[in-house]
Every structure is written in structure tokens, then in C-alpha cells.
Structure 1
């Protein structure tokens, strides 16, 4: 941060879709809630879905395996908690073009930054993929492989090379769709959601990254290093244009809408904890 400030260089920590665009969606949900709701911020949940590897192949595969070796950091009523990775399954409706998908707890950086920057006391993030047996495989690896193995990048890379041919074969039928859903709940019942869905993960990431680059070049970011949800990272007045640009080509993009716009409510299966 200090070096960036001294050099008068603006920078943000991430400019993809998640984390990145999802952080900005969360920031807009919170900003609007503070204007429209008389209640307190209670809970914010990130839900992510990618068909297969989304066309990213070994990259997303390696990242997913490494995350299985990390405790999930979440927040419950302001308290930092540790949970088991790829547990706490929820069946979430991602709306038009995607439908209902199973998602599982993962340790993702936007949970901490959103909790601290936006002041939401309860925050968590979940991820799921298709076909369904890949989710089963992730659970099996979490249970069968020691954490030391899953935290060793060289060993994980060997595992990726082993699975890569099979994964690529399945990707051919699974497609590359990606979807994000961000849910915000307030104490007075003011609940709002945002959904971003695209047929191709790789293309959507490129478009989103370009949108962030344009925002920085246009002066929306102050010198220093910032999270996207910070007003110094992406100025509040620049968020709307950023979201418009980043959502180009999506099959579904909504923000600040009531949950009834999605057909079904989240339903937790198994031992209900910190959804």
C-alpha cells in the first residue's frame, strides 16, 4: 500500500468475476439497503457455480484442490469461525439459464474483506460445479487425503495432471457456464439479491477484467491498493457503469431485486450451520 501511494499508482486486489465483480455487487446491495431499509445488516452470502472447469482446465482444478486443504473462514454475528471445506451443502436457485445447483462452503477471500469493509456481521461463501459427481469427488478427496497433501502445490499439480484428461472430456458435455448469486438480509426483512450468469466463464472473466481496467484508467480508483468494494477501489458513482460493462453478454444479470424473483428459496440439507 505505501509503495503504491508513494508512486501515486492506483490498484485493486482483484478484477475478475469472483472475487472482483461479486465484491462490487455486494457493495451495491449494502449501499442500497442502507438507503431503503430501517433495519441492521444481518447476513450476506456468496454463491458461485461453474459448469465443469468453465473452460479453465487445470487452473480452476488446482485452485479447487488447494482450497480443500484450507479451513473455511466465515463470520457468524461478528465472530470469526472455522468450518470444514466443501461442507454445509445448500441447493440454490441461480435463476434463468442456470436453475438450481448444489453449492458447498469454501474459503474465499471476499468473505473477510466484505465483512470488514462493508460491516456485515454474518458472511459466508459457497461454490458448486457440474456434473454432480465432481462435487462428490471433491468431498471424497477432502475426506481421504490429508490436509498436508492438499496444501502441497507440487503434489496437487500431480493430482491435476492425473485428472485433467478426464475433466477435459467431461467439460465437452458440461459446458462452460458460470453464475454468481449474492444475497443480503437485513433485520427488518429487507432482503435483496444479485445474480450474474454467463454461458462462458473464460469470456465473462475477460469482459469483467476489461471493465475494471477501464474504471481504473478513467480515474475511479485512488492511489494505493484497495479491495473492489472499497469506495477508494471503485468509486461509488462508477459502480453502475462498471457493472453494465462487466455484464455484457450475460444470460441473466439482476441486482437489488427481491428474492421472490427467483422461483425457490435456499434450502439447507443436513446439519444446518451458518448458512
Structure 2
């Protein structure tokens, strides 16, 4: 029986990229959804379904059709962001009909709501993984790998840099400006402390072609999930920046100089998102649309202070995000991975499977372990 994948929001740049990844690496039949009918230029390898997530009965029917006697063979992938606004209706229906679930969610509020359905998903026998993508997603697995290289771990420092639009469309712009609206809690010195978004600029030395670039505090789901996955951790730092650097300064102004009422209004977010998208349509031509992820974990190894740092550079942010989601989809569809319940990536995906799927997609992750006392460096490259 041909395995079925339903991608909600499959017309967006992330959703389309996920569809391409799954069609490339599996034999599954893919259906994407959109709110308006398909055009003659829609990609032919996929089926198309007109569906608005507000149409609950149509959504229910679409998911119910994936329910079979071997439900683990079919899959729903939720790519319809921004997730700041989303409820858990899709996940609930997947649990009801026994269909596996993935999403590309990238906001703490949604993650918290989704994780509350762990027991119900466990009882239904379905695997539900949230926050798949590049960051969060691949970044979480990089952290897990780094922690496994050390004897003990204390501090996680995640730095993300996106060039221009990242090739991911206006929805990502909305996500950025929505992330500026409120202060958030981060795990610092073993307790939750309030942090203001886009503060405490830090210059990070990223791999070529990015070099020294500025990043700022930014609220990400992994700031919430990593301390729970790794209880020994005392600090989780999540910082984000853009290329070219003037976008960072414009974002800082939006976060700190604009009236709060304006940045927190739907009109304000839409205005900033669309203006930014028009600007990146120009600057993408010289900045590119790539992404770099840097995961640094500090702890001990062989009774010495040690740092394990891994980096990933990809020329297209949307394609990299699709690899994170598509790789887990592939493992589920091929029956190589199953973990009933609702989990973030770092709690669910074993490192060996993560490495295998990255290798098959030619995604290279550089890993460096440094003993601070002796300055001895161990360099590893896995793809």
C-alpha cells in the first residue's frame, strides 16, 4: 500500500520544500493543501486539496482518510504558520484518528500546548514530533550530539544566523516580528529568568562565508524544551541575527523604539513583515538566502573543562528546514523510527539516525571538541 503524507500549508516555501524532500527520499504519495484552488503551474508530482484550517469538518475528513489498519504508515505534517496563532486542533485530530504527526512550529506557546497531549498520543500509539525544521529541529539534534560527547554538560549556547529572507517567504518575517512582542523566560543559572528580545548583542565567529556576525536574545521553543530534556543543564542561551547586519539594527529599532501598541498590533506586524519582505527581495541578490547554526555545549570531559561546538552552513534556509522535517518523516514512513507520545526533536530522535539522514542529504556538520585546560582540540566531521 502506498504511504500517504498530508502537508498542511504545503503551498508556502517551507511546505513546498518539505514536499520536495519527501518525494526525493521516499516513495510516499504527497498531498499539499492551500486555501485557494490549484493553478496550472502547481507542481505535478503532488496532489492538491483546497483546505482552510478554519474549516474543521474538511480538516477532520482529510485526516480521517489517512486512518487505516496500519495507521503508522501515514503522516500529517503541519507547516501552516505562524504558530503564534495556532491551536492544537490538527494534533488532536491526528490522535483521534491514529495518524502520526510532525510540525515545523517555532513558538514556545504552541510547543507548550502541544506537549500537554503527550499522554493521549501515547495511549493512541502515535508518534508526534514538534519543532522539526532547521531551528528548532536540526539544531536540537546538534545539541543532543554535543552533550553526548561530554561527560557532563552545563551550558548550551545556540546561535542562528539567516541571510536575507532565507528563501522562506513573508511568514518567516511575521514570525520574527511576532517574536519581538514580549519578554520571555530563559534558563539561566539553574532558574527561569526574564529576558527582553533582541537585547545583549553578541558577536559570534561563524564559519565562512559569514565570519563575525551579531546575534541577539530571541525566544525559541528550544529555550523551553532543552532544560527539560537535559535536567543537568544550568544555562540555555538562544540568540538570532540577520545578514546584512543593517537588518539587525532595524529589528532592534522595531523592538525597542517603536511604540509597544504598534508592534503588538496585527497591522503593525503585517506592515513590517511586508516591507521587510520587499527589502529582502532586493538584498537576497547579494546576501544569499542561507543559514548557519552554531551549537556550543560547555561541560566536562575526562575531568577537564571542555567545549563541544558544532556548526552547520546551508545555502538555502527553506531547504535546510525541509531536511530537518523530511528526514524524520522518512524515518517514520520507512518504519525505522517510532516513539509514541508528543516530543520535541531532542527527546525523540537518536543521534545515529540523525546522522544517517543528514548524510543522505549531503548536509555537513562540523564538530570540534576543545579541552580548555590543555588546549587540545579534537576535530570531527560527519555528513
Shorter-normalised TM-score: what interval? 0.7 to 0.9
SS of the residue corresponding to residue 338 of structure 2 reads: coil
Judged with a 3 Å threshold, the aligned counterparts in structure 2 of structure 1 residues 70 and 244 are, in CA distance, closer, same or farther, namely: farther
| Distance in 2 (alpha carbons) for counterparts of 1:182 and 1:16 | 15
Contact 1:53 1:171 in 2 (8 A): yes
TM-score, length of structure 2 as denominator length? 0.61
Contact 2:149 2:308 in 1 (8 A): no
| Distance in 2 (alpha carbons) for counterparts of 1:98 and 1:184 | 21
- Give 5+ residue unaligned stretches, structure 2: 1-117, 378-383
| Distance in 2 (alpha carbons) for counterparts of 1:154 and 1:225 | 34
Judged with a 3 Å threshold, the aligned counterparts in structure 2 of structure 1 residues 51 and 62 are, in CA distance, closer, same or farther, namely: same
| Distance in 1 (alpha carbons) for counterparts of 2:357 and 2:343 | 16
SS of the residue corresponding to residue 41 of structure 1 reads: strand
**Aligned residue pairs, count:** 252
User: Within the alignment, does 1:76 sit opposite 2:193 as a pair?
Assistant: no
Q: Looking at CA atoms only, which structure, 1 or 2, has the larger radius of gyration?
A: 2
Give, in angstroms, the shift of residue 219 of structure 1: 3.8
Counterpart of 2:323?
207
Counterpart of 2:176?
64
Alignment of 1:12-27 (within 5 A): 12-27=129-144
Give, in angstroms, the shift of residue 237 of structure 1: 4.4
Counterpart of 2:354?
239
Counterpart of 1:7?
124
| Distance in 2 (alpha carbons) for counterparts of 1:5 and 1:153 | 37
Counterpart of 1:130?
243
Aligned match for 2:234, one of 111, 121, 124: 121
Counterpart of 1:37?
none
Farther off after superposition, 203-212 or 106-115: 203-212
| Distance in 1 (alpha carbons) for counterparts of 2:166 and 2:293 | 13
Counterpart of 1:93?
205
Counterpart of 2:310?
194
| Distance in 2 (alpha carbons) for counterparts of 1:212 and 1:125 | 23
* Larger RCO (CA within 8 A; separation ≥ 6): 1
Give, in angstroms, the shift of residue 104 of structure 1: 0.8
Give, in angstroms, the shift of residue 26 of structure 1: 0.5
The alignment yields a C-alpha RMSD, in angstroms, of 2.2
Judged with a 3 Å threshold, the aligned counterparts in structure 2 of structure 1 residues 118 and 162 are, in CA distance, closer, same or farther, namely: same
- Give 5+ residue unaligned stretches, structure 1: 35-39, 262-275
| Distance in 2 (alpha carbons) for counterparts of 1:109 and 1:204 | 18
Judged with a 3 Å threshold, the aligned counterparts in structure 2 of structure 1 residues 159 and 257 are, in CA distance, closer, same or farther, namely: same
SS of the residue corresponding to residue 54 of structure 1 reads: coil
String of CA shifts for 1:120-139, please: whole Å, max 9, x gaps.
11111001111111001011
SS of the residue corresponding to residue 33 of structure 1 reads: coil
Contact 1:25 1:255 in 2 (8 A): no
Give, in angstroms, the shift of residue 154 of structure 1: 4.4
Runs of 4+ in 1 over 4 A off after TM superposition: none
User: Within the alignment, does 1:183 sit opposite 2:296 as a pair?
Assistant: yes
Counterpart of 1:109?
221
| Distance in 1 (alpha carbons) for counterparts of 2:247 and 2:311 | 23
Aligned match for 1:224, one of 327, 332, 341: 341
Give, in angstroms, the shift of residue 220 of structure 1: 2.1
TM-score, length of structure 1 as denominator length? 0.84
Aligned match for 1:174, one of 261, 268, 287: 287
Judged with a 3 Å threshold, the aligned counterparts in structure 2 of structure 1 residues 219 and 146 are, in CA distance, closer, same or farther, namely: farther
Contact 1:75 1:81 in 2 (8 A): yes
Counterpart of 1:54?
166
Contact 2:134 2:322 in 1 (8 A): no
